[in-house]
Structure 1
Amino acid sequence: MRSSTRLVTATAAALLCVGALSACGPDNSGQDGGKTAAPAPTGTTATGTTAPSAGSTGSTSKPDGKGIPAKAWMDTKNIPMDETYHYAPLAANAKPVTGAVGFKGMELCHSPLPKGEEYLFTEGTAKAKASVGFGGDRWTAQQTLFFWGDPTHSSGNGQSVGVIKDRLATAVKDCAKTAPGATVKVNSADDAPYFAATLTVPQADGSTATLHEYVVNAGGTVSELSVWATTKGGAQPKDAWKAPDDKYVGTGMTSALCEALPGCY
Structure 2
Amino acid sequence: MRNSTRLVTTTAAALLLVGALSACGPDNSGQDAGKTAAPAPTGAAPTAAPTGAPATGGNTGGSTAKPTGSGADKGIPAKAWMDTKSIPMDETYHYAPLAANAKPVTGAINFKGMELCHSPLPKGEEYFFTGGDARAKASVGFGGDRWTAQQTLLFWGDPTHSSGNGQSVGVIRDLLTEAVKDCAKTAPGATVTVAKSDDFAATVTVPQPDGSTVTLHEYVINAGGTVSELSVWATTKAGAQPKDAWKAPEDKYVATGMTAAICEALPGCN
TM-score class, shorter-chain normalisation, is: 0.7 to 0.9
With the length of structure 1 as denominator, give the TM-score of the two structures.
0.76
Q: Are positions 1:223 and 2:241 aligned together?
A: no
SS in structure 1 at match of 2:154: strand
Aligned equivalent of 1:247:
252
Structure 2 distance, partners of 1:24, 1:234, is 30
Question: In structure 2, do the counterparts of structure 1 residues 159 and 79 end up closer, same or farther at CA, with 3 Å as the change threshold?
Answer: same
Q: Are positions 1:258 and 2:263 aligned together?
A: yes
Aligned equivalent of 1:131:
139
Match of 2:76 among 47, 55, 68: 68
Match of 2:196 among 188, 209, 220: 188
8 A contact 1:23–1:132 mirrored in 2: no
Amino acid at match of 1:264: C
8 A contact 1:144–1:224 mirrored in 2: yes
Match of 1:159 among 161, 167, 178: 167
8 A contact 1:142–1:227 mirrored in 2: yes
Aligned equivalent of 1:14:
none
With the length of structure 2 as denominator, give the TM-score of the two structures.
0.75
| 1:144-189 Cα deviation digits (max 9, x unpaired) | 0000111111110010011100110000000000001000000134
Amino acid at match of 1:235: A
Question: In structure 2, do the counterparts of structure 1 residues 264 and 176 end up closer, same or farther at CA, with 3 Å as the change threshold?
Answer: same
- The structure carrying a bigger helix percent of its residues is 2
Question: In structure 2, do the counterparts of structure 1 residues 115 and 26 end up closer, same or farther at CA, with 3 Å as the change threshold?
Answer: farther
| 1:196-229 Cα deviation digits (max 9, x unpaired) | 0001001121110000000001120100000000
Structure 2 distance, partners of 1:141, 1:54, is 21
Match of 1:24 among 53, 56, 63: 53
| 1:117-150 Cα deviation digits (max 9, x unpaired) | 1100011110000000000000000000000111
Structure 2 unaligned blocks of 5 or more: 1-47, 58-67
| 1:88-125 Cα deviation digits (max 9, x unpaired) | 00001000100000000000000011111110001111
8 A contact 1:216–1:250 mirrored in 2: yes
SS in structure 2 at match of 1:243: coil
Q: Taking every aligned residue pair, what percent have the same amino acid on both sides?
A: 81
Aligned equivalent of 1:52:
70
Question: In structure 2, do the counterparts of structure 1 residues 171 and 26 end up closer, same or farther at CA, with 3 Å as the change threshold?
Answer: farther
Structure 2 distance, partners of 1:171, 1:26, is 37
SS in structure 2 at match of 1:255: helix
Aligned equivalent of 1:85:
93
- Deviation, structure 1 residue 26: 6.1
Q: How does 1:93-104 map to 2 (within 5 A)?
A: 93-104=101-112
Q: Higher RCO, 1 or 2 (CA under 8 Å, sep at least 6)?
A: 1
Structure 2 distance, partners of 1:23, 1:104, is 23
8 A contact 2:184–2:190 mirrored in 1: yes
Moved over 2 A (4+): 22-28
SS in structure 2 at match of 1:242: coil
SS in structure 2 at match of 1:177: helix
- Deviation, structure 1 residue 51: 2.7
SS in structure 1 at match of 2:180: helix
SS in structure 1 at match of 2:136: strand
The count of corresponding residues between Structure 1 and Structure 2 is: 213
SS in structure 2 at match of 1:254: helix
